[in-house]
Amino acid sequence: MSDPKNAIPVELQDLVAIACEGELSDQDTEQLEALLLDSPVARQYYLLYLHLHGELHWHEAMAGDLPDPTGSSGQGPRMPIPTPAITRPKPDRMSRLRLFGFCICALVVVGLLTLAYQAMPARKDIPAPPPPTPTALARMTGAILPRWKAGANPPVLGQEIPLDRRLVLERGVIEITHPQSTQVLIEGPAAFCYRPGGQIELEKGRLTVLGDEPADFTVNAGDATIVPTGGAIGIFADGKEIELHGLGGKAQIRRVLRQDDSLVEKETDLAGQGGWKWSSGSETDPQAIASDQGRFARALPPRDPDHSVARLREAVTNNARLIHHYTFEGTSRLEKCQDKRGAVHLTEAVMVDGRGRGSINYTAPGFDLTTDALGPHREPQGGNENGVALQSEGRFRPPEAMTIELLLRYQIPEDAGDETVALAVATRDGDRDCGFYVAAVGKGHLSLLLDGSANWVETDTVLAHDHWYYVAFTFKKLEESTVVNAYLADLTVGERQLRQVLKDEEVPGVPATSRLGIGKGFDNTIAHAYPWSGELDEIALYDAVLDPKDLQAHLDLLQAGEP
């Protein structure tokens, strides 16, 4: 066998020697174990060295126990005891088996340790905390009955407005206060976003700026940047049309327009009570308009006002002659379709040609914040036969004397023409027997029809597009005709006095008994047709002809001020 020093590292030799002396430190022990696990030759050297070291100790012990060869106890010369020559023992078969077994055990231990390490659950990385959401210095300092779009994650009262987050306010009013005490009021429905650098992007909705000093922000609406420079201003945007109203304050409009193959920034000033209107993306200058002083909020409205739809609802509920009442209030579709006085409950009705791409809006904004309205669906094209609205589950039998009272807003359909019909409240029981009690015909003529073979009975009123109205019709049956009176007031323009637009008009036919259509009617085959275009609210039916004074009292509950 060759000299082991030729194959064994000096480091191993030193560690084995220290081990035999019993002076290994913890670090030396770990280093020795590592060397032995990595090399079979090292393990063989280690075993042989231990064997040799043990033999030497044994012979030294034996030499100490041998008797004195002279027989004397301590005198005379002593004969030296020769030290036996120790030669490396040649490994026999048993030594090889022990070495093989040691190696096998070492391999098994290493394998088990490896499997145990792999079986250990992986350490989960602790996620880094999300970066803080950047916010503007402005805070939401007030809100009245706000309803945000699901998923908008809006701020709460007292919280700073987040930056770069599109916020959609479906209804209500919020107040945002900026550091220099400039206030911004935003009325739903609205969509807006605060951007870094003091920019408010108004996608749609109404926004009022209130402050004595120039604001530390600008309002981006469409293709324009509006710079408030002091006082009160109102801004309206619907995605394309932009309006700027002076409410006693000042502002500047900045637009970049193309002129002679180059881009030119144009500025338009606003001061006092004037106003400007323009189309986003157009190359024309803003058009001067009259400022609408009552269109924009100057302060947060009261949560429970003395004059509101809620007050009207309370008075209607307490009327002894009320037989059916549809308020469209509730937390579910089923609750919103309930008859709050009688048992003529409502269910959805799809027009002849289907619902198209729309459905009923059960949370449409009402005349004020104290109510939700119903928004039937009417398709932009072929709307007479295409839409979704409501009808009663059972048949409705009109009484001999009847009053129908409601709030409505009419939106002129895109395909409006002479044949356009939109019904708010209706019945029908055949080709001639019908009860189209409240209807908009053509481009908004407020009308009615009680005999399918007769002509429409038109009032002297054309409903203004997108205006809210208080409307009441009274009916008194005769033998083959009915005496009708009609009253209304334009709530959007602030009318306080009830106008009578039909007086003791005797019209052909009598109200028909059938299912009651709300926001729809029936064609001559009794199929669903003629969906309402716009919103309906607070539909009340009485079994009497109400006095005009009672109707005026109901109107007085909606708006403050002298009639």
pLDDT of the residue at 76: 44
H or E stretch at 99? helix 93-119
In the chain, the N- to C-terminal Cα span, in Å, equals 125
Question: Any idea which residue has 């700027």 for tokens?
Answer: 244
Q: How far, CA to CA in Å, does 333 sit from each of 271, 309, 361, 367, 426?
A: 47, 20, 10, 20, 21
pLDDT of the residue at 25: 76
The structure tokens listed for 396 are 């409705």
pLDDT of the residue at 85: 46
10-21 and 40-65 helices cross at what angle (nearest 10)? 40
CB within 8 A of 3, min separation 6: which ones?
none
CB within 8 A of 126, min separation 6: which ones?
none
With CA atoms as reference, report the closest residue to 158 among 145, 174, 172.
174
Which residue blocks in 22-92 are alpha helix, DSSP H?
A: 26-38, 40-65
pTM: 0.67
The structure tokens listed for 268 are 């338009």
β-strands 218-221, 199-210 pairing: parallel
CB within 8 A of 408, min separation 6: which ones?
424, 438, 463, 468, 469, 471, 532, 534, 535, 536, 537
Residue type for position 417: G
563 residues of the chain, pLDDT tens digit each: 444 445 677 887 877 777 777 677 777 777 777 777 777 787 777 777 777 776 666 566 555 544 554 444 444 444 444 444 444 555 555 556 666 666 777 776 676 667 666 655 555 555 655 665 676 689 999 999 899 998 878 889 999 999 999 999 998 999 999 988 899 999 989 999 999 989 999 999 999 999 988 999 999 999 999 999 999 999 999 988 999 999 999 999 999 887 777 778 889 999 888 999 999 888 888 999 999 888 898 999 888 889 999 999 999 999 999 999 999 999 899 999 999 999 999 999 999 877 677 899 999 989 998 999 999 999 988 889 999 999 999 999 999 999 999 999 999 998 888 899 999 999 999 999 999 999 999 999 999 999 999 999 999 999 999 999 999 999 999 999 999 999 999 999 999 999 999 999 999 999 999 999 999 999 989 999 999 999 999 999 999 999 999 999 999 999 876 65
Question: Any idea which residue has 């400007």 for tokens?
Answer: 276
Determine how many CB atoms are found less than 10 A away from the CB of residue 14. 12
pLDDT of the residue at 325: 98
Helix (H, G, I), strand (E, B), or coil: what is residue 22? coil
Handedness of CA 461, 462, 464, 465 (dihedral sign): positive
pLDDT of the residue at 73: 44
Helix (H, G, I), strand (E, B), or coil: what is residue 44? helix
